Amino acid sequence: MKASVLVGTGVIEVRERPVPEPKPDEVLIRVAAVGVCGSDVHYYKHGRIGDFVVREPIVLGHEVSGRITGVGSTIAAGRIGERVAIEPQLPCRRCAQCKAGRYNLCPDMRFFATPPVDGAFCEYVTVPADFAHPVPDAVSDTAAALLEPLSVGVWACRKADVGTGSRVLVTGAGPIGLIAAQTARAAGATEVIVSDPVPARRTRVADFGFTAAEPAQVAEVSDVDALIECSGAPPAIASGIPAVRGGGRIVLVGMGSDQLTLPVSLIQNRELWLTGVFRYANTWPTAIALAASRSVELDRLVTGTFGLTDVEAALRADERPDAMKAVVIP
């Protein structure tokens, strides 16, 4: 099979690799679509994210959909032909975190496109059968791939305790920000304000029916039930926290600075809940239902499609201010 391989910082090569063989509990999937994530871009441009360092050639891409073309010895052959979305994490399933249902926090987690594990900018991948989630015909291949970032939005809204009548502030109108905003609305939020410094993104926010705000306008926002921070920018975090009502929630989703200065007195005096988001757990059934019902519109986020030979262009697509989501079609 063909695979687009990161062989060095800023260097992608298309190489021939063997088609993987599924283990007894796995399925073989012909990849249909792969979304480009900010983490893929970071590995491509910088060769690392925090403690995760690219030391050997690696295949990027972890937002994946496809069709099952083969099964391991313990998996029913009837699954062959199913359209699926891949949950790209491989927990140990034995540790205390896994047994408590928090398998996203498994200390022995292996995750697609995170060194040293290969991802899906290729023609075939294998995954545990229960992490290949069947998707209905109402969900396109592209939308099925974007169920992965939608799962982040679902997890963030659960952490933020978004429900009927909630007022939510989302900072950062990139793909995750718009997905989180749509998920909040689907969960019952009656007002969702989305801030971003880029005019083209604020226009898209308005097109989706949300209140668009410039960063400076966030200072005028008050008494929201939750802040879902999707930019990773320290100024966005600093300006967003005072907008949260007493007892409200702050959920940090975007990847930014490793260290932050926080208004500790404000957090204490208002008894605010502050937490982070690390991927997701048990979100895929909800994500599939949201996409199938069009409660969250994923196909509208796509602003460019690329082939396996154009992965480098896909990884640079975010350099355009009007770009939102690039998708690779192997």
Domain identity same for 92 and 189: no
Domain identity same for 158 and 213: yes
Residue 250: inside a domain, yes or no? yes
Residue 290: inside a domain, yes or no? no
In this structure, are residues 147 and 62 in contact, taking their beta carbons and an 8 Å threshold?
Answer: no
Instruction: For 106-134, write each residue's pLDDT tens digit.
Output: 999 999 999 999 999 999 999 999 999 99
Residue 177 has pLDDT above 90, yes or no: yes
Domain identity same for 266 and 141: no
Domain identity same for 43 and 122: yes
**Residues spanned by the domain of 189:** 153-276
Beta bridge partners, 86, equal 64, 132
Residue 284: inside a domain, yes or no? no
Residue 241: inside a domain, yes or no? yes
DSSP secondary structure string for all residues of 50-105: TTEE--S-EE---EEEEEEEEE-TTS-GGGTT-EEEE--EE--S-SHHHHTT-GGG
Residue 133: inside a domain, yes or no? yes
Instruction: For 199-252, write each residue's pLDDT tens digit.
Output: 999 999 999 999 999 999 999 999 999 999 999 999 999 999 999 999 999 999
Domain identity same for 126 and 186: no
CATH number of the domain to which 244 belongs: 3.40.50.720
Domain identity same for 100 and 198: no
Total tally of structural domains belonging to the chain: 2
Residue 183: inside a domain, yes or no? yes
Q: Name 106's Cβ contacts closer than 8 Å, sequence gap at least 6.
A: 91, 92, 93, 95, 97, 98
Residue 46: inside a domain, yes or no? yes
Domain identity same for 178 and 116: no
Domain identity same for 172 and 213: yes
Domain identity same for 162 and 120: no
Residue 64 has pLDDT above 90, yes or no: yes
Domain identity same for 12 and 132: yes
Q: Is 209 exposed, middle or buried (0-12, 13-18, 19+ CB in 10 A)?
A: exposed
Summary mean pLDDT of the chain: 97
CATH number of the domain to which 89 belongs: 3.90.180.10
Domain identity same for 270 and 195: yes
Query: What is the mean pLDDT of the segment spanning 43-51?
Result: 91
Domain identity same for 73 and 173: no
